[in-house]
Amino acid sequence: MHRLLRPALLAASLASALCGCLLTAGPAAAMSRIKDLATIEGVRQNNLVGYGLVVGLNGTGDTLNNAPFTKQSLTAMLERLGVNTRGATLRTANVAAVMVTASLPAFATQGTRLDITVSALGDSKSLQGGTLLVTPLLGADGEVYAVGQGSVAIAGFQAEGEAAKVTRGVPTVGRISNGALIEREIEFKLNAQRGLRLSLRNPDLTTSRRVAAAINDFLGSDTAEPIDPGTVAIQIPAKYRGNMVQLLTEIEQLRVEPDQIARIVIDERSGIIVMGRDVRVSQVAVAQGNLTVTISEAPEVSQPNVPFTEGTTQVVPRTRVKVDTGDGNKLAIVREGVSLRELVDGLNALGIGPRDLISILQAIKSAGALQAEIEVM
C-alpha cells in the first residue's frame, strides 16, 4: 500500500508545485523593466539636416528649368572648384538637389560614422546610381556636427515606356550606410551628475510611484522621488558617485508593473479599435439597426418588331429599390462590470462590424455607462 501511495503523492506534489509556479508567474508576466518604461534625461539623440547634391544619375535628375535651386547650387559648386559657368546654359539631367537627414546618437564620439537618409527635393524621378557629394549636416544650433558623402542605395525603381510606366517603392528616397562622419561631439558628462531624472514614456501617477519605490527598495534609502506623472528624480548615493554606469545598469533592470488608464483608441479612417484591459461597462441596453437603401440600375434595350428602317432602338430604364430596416436586430443587455473579452464577445454576437462598433461605443460613453477614455485619432 505504501508503495502505491508514494507515486500518487509524488504526482500530487508535482501538480501542486506546478500550479504554484503558474500562479506566481502570472503577475510577473505583466511586469516590465525600468529600462523599457523610462528614459534618462539628457541621454538622447539629436536630429541633423543638410542640403546637398546627388550626381551621376542616368538622366533621372532635376530639370534645371523647373528647379532653379538645383541650378544655383550646381553653379556655386562648380565655382568653388574653379569652373566658371556664369551665364552659360546648363542642360544636364544627371544632378538632383536633396535633403540629407540623420540622427546623432547619444555619446557619439568624433570620427565614428552614422547612417544618413537622402530625399529628393526637386522633380527628380530616381536617385538610383547617384553619389552624394560632401554635405555638412547641421544641428538645431546651426553648428556642423557631421559630414555626409557616398553612394546612394534605394529600395525602389521606376521603368517607363511610351505607353506604360512601372514604379516600385519610392525611388526618390535612398540611404547611405555609414555615410556620415561625425566631426563634433555633444558634451554630456554623465559621471559628473549629482542627480538624474527618469522620464516615463507613458506618464502615469501610479507607475511613477512604483518606479520610485522599486529604486528605493533596491538602494535601501529614499533616493528616488516621483515629481510628477512623467518624472522620477534620483539623488545619487555617495557610493555611486563617479560610477553612474553601474548605478544605471542596476536600476534599469528592476522590474515594475506599469499602470494605465482605461482607454479606447479609435481610428475612424481605417475602422481600427483598440481597447485597454481595464475598460469596464455599467449595465446598459444596446440595440443596433441600420436603414439600408439599395438602388440598382439594369437598363434594357428595346428593339422594334418592324424592319430597322421603319423603327428606332430605345433603351428602357429598369430601376430596383430595396429597403432593409434591420427588423431582425434585437435589444441586448450588457451586464455591469463586464470585462473586455466579455464586452467584445457580446458585441460580436450582435453581428456588429467595426464601423457600427465605433458609434455604439461613443453612444455608451455619452450615456455614462463606459468607464474609459475614448481617443479618436
Query: 271-284: per-residue pLDDT in tens?
Result: 788 877 778 777 77
Give residue 273's pLDDT. 80
Average pLDDT over residues 348-377: 77
Question: Is the same domain home to 250 and 348?
Answer: no
Assess if residue 143 is contained within a domain: yes
Distance CA 181, CA 134 (A): 11
Assess if residue 4 is contained within a domain: no
Question: Is the same domain home to 112 and 229?
Answer: no
Question: Is the same domain home to 65 and 136?
Answer: yes
Give 349's Cβ-side CA count (13 Å radius). Answer: 12
Assess if residue 100 is contained within a domain: yes
Distance CA 231, CA 203 (A): 8
**DSSP helix/strand/coil, 53:** strand
CATH number at residue 252: 3.30.70
Assess if residue 117 is contained within a domain: yes
Q: Is 209's pLDDT higher than 90?
A: yes
Assess if residue 17 is contained within a domain: no
- Among the candidates 142, 161, 182, a domain finishes at 182
Question: Is the same domain home to 157 and 234?
Answer: no
pLDDT in tens, 131-184: 999 999 999 999 999 999 999 998 866 666 666 777 777 889 999 999 999 999
Beta partners for residue 310, in sequence order? none
Neighbours of 268 (CB within 10 A): 13
Assess if residue 307 is contained within a domain: no
Give residue 302's pLDDT. 67
Query: What is the residue range of 66's domain?
Result: 46-182
Q: Locate cell 508576466: which residue?
A: 29
- Among the candidates 182, 215, 239, a domain finishes at 182
For the ranges 115-119, 331-335, 352-356, 359-363, the lowest mean pLDDT is seen at 331-335
- Grid cell for residue 293: 437603401
Question: Is the same domain home to 291 and 233?
Answer: no
Assess if residue 38 is contained within a domain: no
